[in-house]
C-alpha cells in the first residue's frame, strides 16, 4: 500500500480545482448577480439597435444596399456577388434568421473591436502586457465553449445577450493578436523617421502605426467574424436565436432538412462577410492616389453632381456669349 | 546670437550600448579603452569621445566604414539614440538635457533627417509624405501642402505630387525624402547614408543635386557616408571615424596632405588628389584688379601679368582686359577693351574639373564665389606647379 501511494502520489495529493470554481461561482451568483445583470446593459443596447435596424429593412432594400456597399469597397463584381449570396439566403427561406444571426455577429464584432484593438495596441507597446495576456488569449481560444457556457448562464441568464458574450470570448483573441502583430511588424525605419520628425506617441499611433497596420488588423476583423459565425451554433444552446437555433433544432428532432438549411444559411453568410472584409483589407492595403469617394457608386454620383454643376456654370456663360 | 559661425557643437559625446552603461562610463573616464570595456563589462562602446563643430552653411561629412559608429553618432545629434554622456549644443543651447516637449520641437523645427532606406510612408501620397513633418508640427493643410509642393519643386518632383511613393524609382523616392526634410526648413539637415542605396549613376546625380541645392539655399548639412569619393565631392569638411572614434577632422585636402594615422592614409591612398583640391584653395591673389567705377587713371607699372581684372563696387567680377606693362590707362578704356571670351570658375570647383576650362582660356581664369565675388585667379602654370607638389 505504502509503495503504491509513493509511486502514485496523486491518489491522495490533488488540487480541488473543480470545488474551488464551484464555490467561487456560487459566491459570485449569490452576491454579484445584480452587477452581472447590469453588465448586460451595453450589449443589450447595441444588440437591440443593430437588430431593429436589420429587421426593419425589407429584404429587397437590404440586398440593394449590400450590393451598393460591396461595389463601393471592392468594385462592381463584389456588388453582384453580395446581391447573389443575400438573394440565396432569402430564397432558402432563412432571411429573418440570417438577420438575427448577422446582428449577433455585428454586435460581437463591435465589442471585439472596442476591446481588442486597444488591447492589441497596448500589447504591441508594452512587452509585459503581451506576456500577460497571451496565455489568457490561448485559454479563451482553446477552452471548450461548453465550459464557460454554464457559468455565463448562471451569471447572465439565457438569451441573445449572453450569447453575444460567449461569442466575444471566443472571437476576440485573433483580433488582439493580429493588431499586436500588425503594429510590431511595421518596418523600424518608418518608426524612426516618424520619431525623427518629432511625432508624439499619440501621433505615431494615429498617423503611422494604425494606418500601416490596417491590412493586418482587417485580417483580424475577418477572423473574428468567422469565429463569431462558428460560435453562433454553440451559443444557440443557451437559447440564442437565429440560424444556429435552426441547426440545433434540426439535430434535436433529427430533421436533417432543417439542420441543412440552417447550416447552408451560415455558410452563405460566412462567405458574404469573408469576401467583404477581405476586400476591405486589400483596399486599405493599396490606398493612395485614388480616394474612396472617387470610386464606386459614391464616386459615380459625385462625378455626376460635379459635371452637372459644371454644366450649370457653363450654361449661363454660353447664354451670355449668344446674347 | 544665431549669427555665430558654429551652429552645432558636439563635446566629448560617448554612447555605450548595453544594460550597465554607468559602469562602462566610469571605466572610460578612468582611461579604459573600448576593448577593455567590452571584455570586462560586456558593454559595447558605440561612440567614443566624439567632439566636433559644424559651421553655418557647410556640408560636414562624417565618414567611416560600417560599424565605425557614424550612424549612431548622427542619431545622437537629434537624440533618436540617447547619448551616455557629453554635450550637444545647437545654436548655443544644450539639447542633451532637454525635456521631451522641447526635444520634439527641436526635431520638428531644427533638425530634419534623410534616411538611407528613404522611410517614406506607403499609405500617403508623395505630397503628403513631403508635408509629413509639417503635419506633425500641426500646420494647417493648405499651408503645409503649399510648402511641401515648393520643396518638391526644388527637387524636381513637382509634377509627381499626387503619385504614390511605390510608383517612383529609388532616386525619385529619395528626392521625396529630401523634400520632406527641406519642407520643414530645418536649421540642420541630417543625412544618414542618404544616397548609399542608390545605384552609382543616380547617386552621382543626387550628389550634384545636393551641391546645387546647397548653392541656392546654404543649408547646414551633416552628411553620413561610407563612400570616400562622395565625401570628397560634397564635403566642405570631413570627419573620419574608426571604431567609434573620430580620428581626424579637416577639409579633404588637409586630411589628404596630413593624414593623422596609417588608417586614414590607407583610406586616401587610391584617391585622385585633383578631386580633393578646390580651386579656391589654390587661387592666386597677385593679379591686378581694377574697380570699374573709379574714374582715376590706373598705373600699370606695378602690375604683374598681362591682364587686369575689372570688379564692380561689391567686388563682383565684370570682365578682363589685356594690359601692356609700363603704360597707364583709364578705367573707361579698360572697360572698352574687355575680352569677349568669358571664362570663370566657381570657388568650390575641384582642380580636376577646372583643368579643361583653364587650358582653353587665353588668360588666367578668375575664381568667383557663389555670388560672383572675385577670389583670385588660376593659371596653367599654377596648376602644373600644384600638381607637381602633390
* CB contacts < 8 A (A, B): 67
User: B99 CB near a chain A CB, below 8 Å?
Assistant: no
Domain with residue B297: its CATH number is 3.10.580.10
Q: Are residues B92 and B118 in the same domain?
A: yes
Q: Does B138 touch chain A (CB under 8 A)?
A: no
B107 touches chain A (CB under 8 A): yes
Q: What tens digit of pLDDT does each residue of A43-57 get?
A: 999 999 999 999 899
Q: Is A260 left (phi over 0), alpha (psi -120 to 50) or beta?
A: alpha
Residue A159 has pLDDT above 90, yes or no: no
For position B304, what pLDDT does the model report?
A: 58
Examine the domain organization and report whether B243 and B284 are in the same domain. Answer: no
Residue-level pLDDT at B390 = 65
Q: CA nearest B179: which of B148, B213, B224?
A: B148
Sheet holding B317-322: strands in order across? B288-291, B307-311, B317-322
Cell of B37: 570595456
What is the reported pLDDT for B322?
Answer: 81
Q: Are B210 and B240 in contact (CB under 8 A)?
A: no
- 3-state class of B287 per DSSP? coil
- Number of neighbours of residue A159 by Cβ within 10 angstroms: 16
Give the count of beta carbons closer than 10 Å to the beta carbon of residue A12.
Answer: 7
B105 to chain A: nearest residue by CA? A198
Kindly indicate the confidence band of residue A319, based on its pLDDT and cuts at 50, 70 and 90: very low
Residues B72, B40, single domain; the answer is yes
Best of B132, B136, B160 to substitute, by most chain A Cβ atoms within 10 angstroms, is: B136
Q: Flag whether B367 is in a domain.
A: yes
**Domain that includes residue A243, residue range:** 28-286
Q: Which residue has the cell 559602469?
A: B23
Chain B residues lying within 8 Å of A289, measured CB to CB: 125, 162-164, 167
- Residues A106 and A66: beta-carbon distance below 8 Å: no
- Asked if B187 is an interface residue toward chain A (Cβ–Cβ < 8 A), one would say no
Q: Identify the pLDDT of residue A321.
A: 41
Q: How far apart are CA A47 and CA B386, in angstroms?
A: 87
Residue ranges of chain B whose pLDDT lies below 70: 1-4, 294-305, 325-328, 390
Question: What rounded mean pLDDT belongs to chain A?
Answer: 87
B50 to chain A nearest CA, in Å? Answer: 21
Identify the CA nearest to A44 among candidates A105, A112, A107, A114.
A107
Query: Total structural domains in chain B?
Result: 2
Cβ-based neighbour number of residue B36 at 10 Å: 14
Nearest CA in chain A to B163: A289
Assigned domain for B28 exists: yes
Residues of chain A in contact with residue B184, where contact means CB-CB under 8 angstroms, are 197
CB contact under 8 A, B108 and A208: no
| Residue B55 sits in the same domain as residue B114 | yes
Digit-coded pLDDT (tens) for B201-229: 888 888 988 888 888 888 899 999 988 88
**Interacting residues of A138 by C-beta distance below 8 A, sequence separation 6+:** A173
> Which of B240, B273, B306 lies at the terminal end of a domain, its last residue?
B273
Which residues in A31-70 are b (16+ Cβ under 10 Å) and which e?
A: eeeeebeeebeebeebbeebbeebeeeeeeebbbebbebb
> A287 vs chain B: nearest CA distance in angstroms?
6
What pLDDT sits at residue B41? 83
Q: Which of residues B238, B273, B308 is at a domain's end?
A: B273
Please tell me the predicted confidence (pLDDT) of residue B2. 43
Which of A189, A194, A198, A291 to substitute to test the interface with B, most B CBs within 10 Å? Answer: A198
One domain for residues B80 and B220: yes
Beta-bridge partners for B349: none
DSSP character for B155?
T
For chain A, the domain total comes to 1
Ramachandran assignment for B336, one of left (phi > 0), alpha (psi -120 to 50 degrees), beta (any other): alpha
Does B316 share its domain with B236?
Answer: no
Read off the CATH number of the domain in which B188 is found: 3.40.50.300
Residue B1 falls inside a structural domain: no
Q: Do residue B245 and residue B288 come from a single domain? A: no
Residue A163 near residue A238 (C-beta atoms within 8 A): yes
At which of B225, B250, B273 does a domain end? B273
Is A198 close to B105, i.e. CB distance below 8 A? yes
Q: Indicate if B192 and B314 belong to the same structural domain.
A: no
Q: What is the pLDDT of residues B108-125, one digit of tens each?
A: 989 999 999 999 999 899
Q: Domain range for residue B111? A: 6-273
Nearest Cα of chain A lies from the Cα of B271 at a distance, in angstroms, of 33
Determine the pLDDT at residue A285.
58
Do residue B206 and residue B296 come from a single domain? no
| Residue B299 confidence (pLDDT) | 60
Q: How far is B194 from chain A (nearest CA, A)?
A: 13
Rounded CA gap, B252 and B59, in Å? 12
Tell whether B199 and B308 lie within a shared domain.
Answer: no
Asked if A288 lies within 8 A of B132 by C-beta distance, the reply is no
The per-residue pLDDT for A225 is 93
**Which cell goes with A126?**
508594452
Task: Tell me what ipTM this predicted complex has.
Answer: 0.74
Say which CATH number the domain at A106 has: 1.10.3720.10
pLDDT at A242 over 50: yes
Q: At what angle do helices A59-74 and A256-285 cross, to 10 degrees?
A: 30
Check residues A221 and B287 and name the one with the higher pLDDT.
Answer: A221
| Model pLDDT for residues A265-317, shown as the tens digit of each residue | 999 999 999 999 888 877 765 544 466 677 777 877 887 777 766 555 544 44
Same domain, B144 and B257: yes
DSSP 3-state of B373: strand
Chain centroid to CA B11:
21
Shared-domain flag, residues B284 and B137: no
Task: Determine contact, residues B56/B64, Cβ cutoff 8 Å.
Answer: no
Amino acid at each position: 500500500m505504502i509503495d503504491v501511494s509513493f509511486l502514485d502520489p496523486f491518489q491522495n495529493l490533488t488540487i480541488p480545482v473543480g470545488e474551488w470554481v464551484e464555490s467561487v461561482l456560487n459566491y459570485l451568483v449569490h452576491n454579484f448577480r445584480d452587477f452581472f445583470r447590469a453588465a448586460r446593459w451595453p450589449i443589450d443596447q447595441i444588440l437591440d439597435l443593430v437588430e431593429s435596424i436589420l429587421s426593419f429593412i425589407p429584404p429587397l432594400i437590404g440586398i440593394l444596399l449590400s450590393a451598393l456597399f460591396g461595389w463601393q469597397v471592392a468594385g462592381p463584381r463584389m456588388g453582384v456577388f453580395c446581391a447573389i449570396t443575400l438573394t440565396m439566403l432569402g430564397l432558402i427561406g432563412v432571411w429573418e434568421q440570417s438577420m438575427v444571426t448577422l446582428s449577433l455577429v455585428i454586435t460581437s464584432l463591435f465589442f471585439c473591436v472596442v476591446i481588442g484593438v486597444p488591447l492589441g495596441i497596448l500589447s504591441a507597446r508594452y512587452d509585459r502586457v503581451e506576456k500577460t495576456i497571451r496565455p489568457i488569449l490561448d485559454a479563451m481560444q482553446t477552452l471548450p465553449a461548453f465550459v464557460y457556457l454554464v457559468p455565463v448562464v448562471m451569471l447572465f441568464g439565457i438569451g441573445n445577450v449572453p450569447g453575444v458574450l460567449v461569442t466575444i470570448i471566443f472571437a476576440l483573441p485573433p483580433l488582439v493578436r493580429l493588431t499586436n502583430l500588425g503594429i510590431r511588424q511595421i518596418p523600424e525605419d518608418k518608426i524612426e523617421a516618424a520619431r525623427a520628425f518629432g511625432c508624439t506617441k499619440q501621433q505615431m499611433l494615429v498617423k503611422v502605426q494604425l494606418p500601416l497596420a490596417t491590412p493586418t488588423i482587417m485580417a483580424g476583423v475577418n477572423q473574428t467574424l468567422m469565429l463569431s459565425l462558428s460560435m453562433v451554433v454553440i451559443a444557440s444552446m443557451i437559447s440564442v436565436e437565429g440560424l444556429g437555433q435552426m441547426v440545433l433544432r434540426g439535430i434535436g428532432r433529427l430533421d436533417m432538412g432543417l439542420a441543412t438549411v440552417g447550416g447552408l444559411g451560415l455558410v452563405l453568410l460566412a462567405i458574404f462577410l469573408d469576401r467583404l472584409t477581405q476586400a476591405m483589407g486589400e483596399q486599405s492595403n493599396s490606398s493612395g492616389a485614388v480616394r474612396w469617394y472617387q470610386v464606386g457608386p459614391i464616386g459615380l454620383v459625385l462625378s455626376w453632381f460635379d459635371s452637372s454643376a459644371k454644366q450649370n456654370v457653363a450654361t449661363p456663360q454660353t447664354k451670355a456669349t449668344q446674347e | 546670437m544665431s549669427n555665430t559661425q558654429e551652429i552645432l557643437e558636439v563635446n566629448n559625446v560617448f554612447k555605450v550600448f548595453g544594460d550597465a552603461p554607468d559602469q562602462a562610463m566610469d571605466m572610460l573616464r578612468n582611461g579604459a579603452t573600448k576593448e577593455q570595456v567590452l571584455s570586462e563589462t560586456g558593454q559595447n562602446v558605440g561612440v567614443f569621445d566624439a567632439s566636433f563643430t559644424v559651421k553655418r552653411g557647410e556640408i560636414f561629412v562624417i565618414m567611416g566604414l560600417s560599424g565605425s559608429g557614424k550612424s549612431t553618432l548622427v542619431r545622437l545629434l537629434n537624440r533618436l539614440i540617447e547619448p551616455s554622456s557629453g554635450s550637444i549644443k545647437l545654436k548655443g543651447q544644450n539639447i542633451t538635457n532637454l525635456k521631451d516637449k522641447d526635444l520634439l520641437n527641436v526635431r520638428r523645427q531644427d533638425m530634419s533627417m534623410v534616411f538611407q532606406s528613404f522611410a517614406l510612408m506607403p499609405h500617403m501620397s508623395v505630397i503628403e509624405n513631403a508635408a509629413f513633418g509639417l503635419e506633425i508640427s500641426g500646420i494647417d493643410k493648405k499651408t503645409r501642402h503649399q510648402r511641401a509642393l515648393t520643396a518638391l519643386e526644388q527637387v524636381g518632383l513637382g509634377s509627381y505630387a499626387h503619385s504614390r511613393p511605390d510608383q517612383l524609382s529609388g532616386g525619385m523616392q529619395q528626392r521625396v525624402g529630401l523634400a520632406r526634410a527641406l519642407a520643414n526648413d530645418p536649421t540642420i539637415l541630417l543625412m544618414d547614408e542618404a544616397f548609399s542605396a542608390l545605384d552609382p549613376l543616380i547617386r552621382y546625380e543626387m550628389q550634384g543635386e545636393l551641391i546645387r541645392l546647397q548653392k541656392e539655399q546654404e543649408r547646414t548639412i551633416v552628411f553620413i557616408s561610407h563612400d570616400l569619393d562622395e565625401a570628397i565631392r560634397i564635403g566642405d569638411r570631413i570627419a573620419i571615424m574608426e571604431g567609434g572614434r573620430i580620428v581626424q577632422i579637416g577639409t579633404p585636402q588637409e586630411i589628404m596632405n596630413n593624414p593623422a594615422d596609417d588608417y586614414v592614409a590607407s583610406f586616401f591612398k587610391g584617391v585622385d588628389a585633383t578631386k580633393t583640391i578646390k580651386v579656391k584653395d589654390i587661387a592666386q591673389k597677385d593679379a591686378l584688379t581694377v574697380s570699374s567705377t573709379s574714374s582715376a587713371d590706373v598705373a600699370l607699372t606695378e602690375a604683374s601679368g598681362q591682364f587686369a581684372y575689372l570688379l564692380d563696387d561689391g567686388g563682383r567680377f565684370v570682365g578682363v582686359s589685356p594690359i601692356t606693362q609700363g603704360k597707364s590707362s583709364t578705367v573707361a578704356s579698360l572697360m572698352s577693351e574687355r575680352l569677349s571670351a568669358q571664362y570663370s570658375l566657381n570657388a568650390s570647383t575641384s582642380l580636376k574639373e577646372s583643368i579643361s576650362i583653364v587650358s582653353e582660356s587665353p588668360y588666367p581664369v578668375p575664381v568667383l564665389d557663389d555670388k560672383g565675388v572675385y577670389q583670385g585667379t588660376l593659371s596653367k602654370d599654377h596648376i602644373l606647379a600644384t600638381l607637381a607638389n602633390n
